[in-house]
């Protein structure tokens, strides 16, 4: 059975509801299907926060990030969803599960009188899109990656609109109705307020931030720990976000070094950073553009269809980032790249001209009103259907 509401959230739509009641209309009911990692859940929350004129409920999976972030905001319903990575009997099992979850989502949409679905792709999108379309409901799918995922490529043509984070994605979706909206970021990126940092460092000290996506990147962590002593010598300070799965995360200690498994205020941290070493998930790249940050990008080598290299290429091809494949990157090379970008010769730090240009190019890739654009696309799709009825 569909495991239903796991919480009783605060009602964030009260003001909109009051005016809807006064006007004798009811709020549009929208189901948001967004599940998994930060790259899928954060953009969906950013859009939901804009849709105060809709009554939002959420569809996710019982053991992913949404169970930590969503229940305090919206009612969360969960289904079992999984990707088709395996073969043979396992793929038959996944197919049966998919059929079951389509039926469950259909029931939810029908009983909950939802008027449309918004999804950020991934496994959860398959039952959400298929169930909604079988009921004739509009579906808006947001794809943040430059190389759209399999679910997006396969189901995109069935959606009312596929909103894309990078213009390059349109080439892979010839039969879908695409619109480029950029990828929404959390509201912390929309304000300019100074925030506390996880490390107390001198005002002019160069800060290197290392981040491996929402789950960390053990391969990048290892490389960085090997390079760090040379960077400390050059007066570089480091904030290293390792994720929860690195057994050696505590092995390096230094006054110029702060290591954390995860940090919430990414906007504040990135704003202070002089250079970022990162995987190339679409969420982090969008934030690098929003904060105009130069970066060294090391795509996750095992990402589906190597899509992180496609993301990174959007940045490296315009000079906003340097792209290295993990297999080709030695500690010596990475040490030298950082030193040359931050301008370190162990006695003086002069950020290189190249670093400034990279920052400017990164800023040019930002879509600052992405959440609002996407909210408009959703309102439009839902309204169009209401008018047709
Ligand atoms: C391994 C893999 O397949 N990853 C995919 C996953 O990325 P994943 O979600 O891991 O990575 P993203 O870069 O897209 O997003 C990470 C998010 O987590 C936040 N964050 C991270 C660390 C931290 O300490 N604090 C924090 O808030 C980042 O600021 C960002 O908002 O979904 C993305 C969107 O489809 C894809 O582009 C990625 O390729």
CB of 300 within 6 A of ligand 1: the answer is: yes
CA 300 to ligand 1: nearest atom: 1
Q: How far apart are CA 177 and CA 157, in angstroms?
A: 7
Tell me what pLDDT residue 1 has: 37
Global ipTM? 0.98
199 phi and psi, to 5 degrees? -140, 140
- pLDDT, tens digit, for every residue of 210-256? 999 888 999 999 999 999 999 999 999 999 999 999 999 999 999 99
What residues does 29 pair with on adjacent strands? 55
64 is in an annotated binding site: no
Separation of 282 CA from ligand 1 center, angstroms?
Answer: 7
CB of 262 within 6 A of ligand 1: the answer is: yes
363 is in an annotated binding site: no
Mean pLDDT rounded to a whole number for the chain: 90
Q: How far apart are CA 356 and CA 333, in angstroms?
A: 21
Please, what are the domains in the chain? 14-186+368-388 (3.40.50.2000), 207-364 (3.40.50.2000)
Separation of 43 CA from ligand 1 center, angstroms?
Answer: 11
Strand order in the sheet with 28-33: 76-78, 54-60, 28-33, 116-119, 139-143, 161-164, 178-180
- pLDDT, tens digit, for every residue of 251-294? 999 999 999 999 999 999 999 999 999 999 999 999 999 999 99
Per-residue pLDDT band for 388 (boundaries 50, 70, 90) equals low
Q: How far apart are CA 319 and CA 222, in angstroms?
A: 26
Task: Give Cα separations from 329 to 107, 220, 325 (angstroms).
Answer: 50, 10, 6
Per-residue pLDDT band for 384 (boundaries 50, 70, 90) equals low
Listed in sequence order, the DSSP H helices in the chain are 14-22, 38-50, 66-69, 89-111, 125-134, 150-155, 218-233, 266-272, 282-290, 307-316, 331-342, 353-364, 370-388
Structure tokens at 104: 């469950």
Structure tokens at 114: 């939802």
CA 302 to ligand 1: nearest atom: 1
Closest residue CA from atom 9 of ligand 1: 39
CB of 284 within 6 A of ligand 1: the answer is: yes
Average pLDDT rounded to a whole number, residues 168-191: 96
CB of 282 within 6 A of ligand 1: the answer is: yes
Separation of 179 CA from ligand 1 center, angstroms?
Answer: 22
- Name the residue with higher pLDDT: 73 or 85: 73
145 is in an annotated binding site: yes
Closest residue CA from atom 35 of ligand 1: 39
CA 185 to ligand 1: nearest atom: 31
Question: Which of 179, 192, 350 shows the shortest CA–CA distance to 268?
Answer: 192
Quote the crossing angle between the two packed helices 331-342 and 353-364, to the nearest 10°: 90
pLDDT greater than 60 at residue 185: yes
Per-residue pLDDT band for 22 (boundaries 50, 70, 90) equals very low
214 is in an annotated binding site: yes
Q: How many CB atoms lie within 10 A of CB 2?
A: 17
Structure tokens at 321: 């980032």
38 is in an annotated binding site: yes
Looking at the chain, the whole-number percentage of residues with pLDDT higher than 90 is 78
Structure tokens at 76: 């969360």
Per-residue pLDDT band for 86 (boundaries 50, 70, 90) equals low
Structure tokens at 360: 């400017």
Average pLDDT rounded to a whole number, residues 13-28: 53
- Name the residue with higher pLDDT: 364 or 349: 364
Which of 68-82, 89-103, 214-228, 299-313 shows the lowest mean pLDDT across its residues?
89-103
Separation of 181 CA from ligand 1 center, angstroms?
Answer: 18
């Amino acid at each position: 059975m569909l495991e239903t509401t796991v919480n009783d959230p605060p009602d964030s739509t009260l003001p909109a509801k009051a005016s809807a009641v006064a006007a004798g209309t009811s709020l549009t009911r929208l189901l948001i299907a967004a599940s998994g990692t930060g790259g899928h859940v954060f953009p969906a929350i950013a859009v939901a926060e804009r849709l105060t004129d809709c009554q939002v409920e959420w569809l996710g999976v019982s053991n992913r990030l949404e169970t930590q972030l969503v229940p305090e905001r919206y009612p969360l319903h969960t289904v079992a969803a999984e990707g088709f990575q395996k073969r043979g009997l396992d793929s038959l099992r996944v197919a049966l599960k998919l059929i079951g979850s389509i039926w469950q989502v259909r029931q939810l949409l029908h009983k909950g009188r939802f008027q449309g679905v918004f999804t950020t792709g991934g496994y959860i999108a398959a039952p959400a899109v298929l169930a909604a379309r079988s009921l004739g409901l509009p579906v808006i799918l947001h794809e943040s990656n430059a190389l759209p995922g399999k679910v997006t490529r396969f189901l995109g043509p069935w959606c009312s609109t596929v909103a894309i984070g990078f213009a390059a994605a349109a080439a892979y979706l010839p039969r879908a109705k695409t619109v480029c909206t950029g990828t929404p970021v959390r509201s912390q990126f929309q304000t300019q307020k100074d925030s506390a940092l996880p490390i107390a460092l001198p005002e002019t000290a160069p800060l290197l931030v290392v981040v491996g996506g929402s789950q960390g990147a053990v391969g990048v962590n290892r490389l960085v720990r090997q390079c760090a002593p040379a960077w400390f010598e050059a007066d570089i300070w480091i904030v290293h976000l390792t994720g929860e799965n690195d057994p050696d995360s505590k092995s390096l200690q230094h006054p110029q070094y702060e290591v954390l498994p995860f940090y919430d205020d990414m906007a504040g941290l990135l704003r202070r950073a002089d250079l970022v070493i990162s995987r190339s998930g679409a969420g982090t790249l969008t934030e690098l553009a929003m904060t105009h940050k130069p970066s060294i990008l090391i795509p996750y080598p095992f990402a589906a269809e190597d899509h992180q290299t496609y993301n990174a290429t959007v940045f490296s091809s315009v000079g906003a980032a340097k792209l290295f494949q993990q297999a080709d990157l030695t500690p010596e090379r990475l040490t030298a790249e950082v030193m040359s970008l931050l301008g370190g010769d162990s006695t003086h730090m002069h950020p290189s001209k190249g670093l400034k240009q990279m920052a400017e190019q990164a800023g040019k890739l930002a879509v600052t009103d992405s959440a609002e654009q996407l909210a408009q696309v959703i309102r439009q799709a839902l309204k169009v259907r209401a008018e047709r009825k």
